[in-house]
Amino acid sequence: MPAHLILGGARSGKSRYAETLALGTGLPVTVIATAEALDAEMASRIRRHQQDRPHAWRTVETPLALADALRREAQLGRCVIVDCLTLWLMNLMADADTLASALDADALPRLRAERAALLDCLPGLRGDVLLVANELGLGLVPETPLGRLFRDEAGRLNQSVAALCGRVTFVAAGLPLALKG
């Protein structure tokens, strides 16, 4: 079954929508969590997400090697939620040694390699795969070159993933709008 991309802004309800879809499958669910608790506020957000999920769901923390985790976890008879692609992208950009001097993603080889691996694995995944990502292109233009690079890379990633997914849904104010499929 082709993957399903779920896009939305901050606090739009996209994660909750993905969780509702996962519950509806009746399958065992694994959440591939890409967030890292690097400060108290992020640790609190992560705890809140964990508490909102059913206790039977497995969580696999994967801040960087997402394609590897998806190849392992996405199997027939299982549902996988990736929450979220945008944090994964941020982790890859923050992982770069030369990020301060990079003006485009071509200067970030790990980002290029991990993105290519993700896009390569998506068409062959088995089971139900729900990918959550932020839509950043509807807001203000970031003030810094690094902020603009991140926004641009997130937009490119979302476009590439959407092209490979059988379904794409945009969520605003908790309301899903089917864009594809």
Q: What are the residue numbers of the active site?
A: 49
Contact 54, 23 (CB under 8 A): yes
**Is 15 labelled a binding residue?**
yes
**Is 26 labelled a binding residue?**
no
Can you tell me the distance from the alpha carbon of 8 to that of 133, in angstroms, rounded to the nearest whole number?
7
Cβ-based neighbours of 4, under 8 Å, separated by 6 or more: 21, 128, 129, 130, 131, 165, 166, 167, 168, 169, 181
**Is 8 labelled a binding residue?**
yes
**Is 13 labelled a binding residue?**
yes
Can you tell me the distance from the alpha carbon of 168 to that of 162, in angstroms, rounded to the nearest whole number?
6
**Is 10 labelled a binding residue?**
yes
**Is 12 labelled a binding residue?**
yes
Numbered residues of the known binding site for GTP: 8-15, 33-35, 61, 83
Numbered residues of the known binding site: 8-15, 33-35, 61, 83
